[in-house]
Amino acid sequence: MYFIELNNGVEIPQVGMGLAATGSWQQDDEYVTEVILKAIAIGYRLFDTASLYGNERALGRAMKESGLPREEFFITSKVWDTEQGGSKTHDAFARSLERLQLEYLDLYLIHWPVPAYTRETWEAMEALYQQKKARALGLSNFRKSDIEQIAAFAEVHPVINQIELHPYFTQQPLVDYCQFHKIAIACWAPLGSGSWSGVPLAEKPLVDPVIAEMADKYSATPAQVILKWNIQQHRIVVPKAEFLEHIRTNFLLSDFNLSNADIQTINSLNCNKRFGGDPDYVHKNNMTLKVPD
């Protein structure tokens, strides 16, 4: 397993499992628990959920049923747009812990930037950090301007920015900015977005001929090539998978390394093609989405 040391000294696995829309959107039942248990058996320890995903309880059950000690896991959750701001953030965090049946989170993120609430949301999170209820604090989908806003007042430095990043959308200027400021990059939709997005497979980097050719060259799957492209550039990946073979191959990445030339070739596939929400415009729609109880 690969690890990255965050700027506060906490270590995070580089490969984890993203849990958005496991099964279906906000599904929270034994099926989801079973998928997570399969991943735990293969070796996954980083699980990335959010209050909005509606499956924190299924993750909590899987951790309990695994029989593994709590400290072996790295659990990330996120505060949704409707939960941002002072006491609302404290309440949202407490509900996440309750659903997960945990005493603390390893990483707590602001799911999307809402600049009007960023300061009081972050200060609430800083209080949770000081109380040792969260081992690290971070951001998701934050633009450079949003990070600059936090830098102006934050006492606790963000450790991570989780962003949409795949070979068709590399966000290199933002990545460079974050890495310069010692903010690690985590990639959601690292394979180019899940079925929930409605993006046809033919438009995703998973089926790009360049990626397919490299997969043949390294006797790997296209997904493994893309994930390794991220790993070798010191990024964290949380691909979603439900089928056992995908769960397994996404995790087992140690058999090969891409050449520097191949990494640059994949970098050059960038065409600024965003599959998910754009932080410039998504907030109004986000406010219509409900966090389940």
Tokens of 130: 């000081």
Is 120:85 a contact under the CB 8 Å cutoff? yes
**Interior/surface letters 30-61, b for 16+ CB within 10 angstroms, e for the rest:** eebbbbbbbbbeeebbbbbbbbbbbbbbbbbb
Compute the distance between CA of residue 92 and CA of residue 34 in angstroms, rounded to an integer: 26
Measured N-to-C along each axis, helices 86-100 and 56-66 cross at an angle, to the nearest 10 degrees, of: 40
Which of these, 35, 111, 34, 39, lies nearest to 78 by C-alpha position?
Answer: 111
Tokens of 243: 């089928």
Is 185:236 a contact under the CB 8 Å cutoff? yes
Note the maximum CA span of the chain. 53
- Can you list the alpha helix ranges (DSSP code H) found in 137-280? 144-151, 172-180, 209-217, 222-231, 244-251, 260-267
Whether 44 sits among the annotated catalytic residues: the reply is: no
Q: Which amino acid is at 169?
A: F
Q: How many C-beta atoms surround the C-beta of residue 148 within 10 A?
A: 12
Catalytic residue among 2, 31, 44, 53: 53
Is 156:126 a contact under the CB 8 Å cutoff? yes
Residues carrying an active site annotation:
53
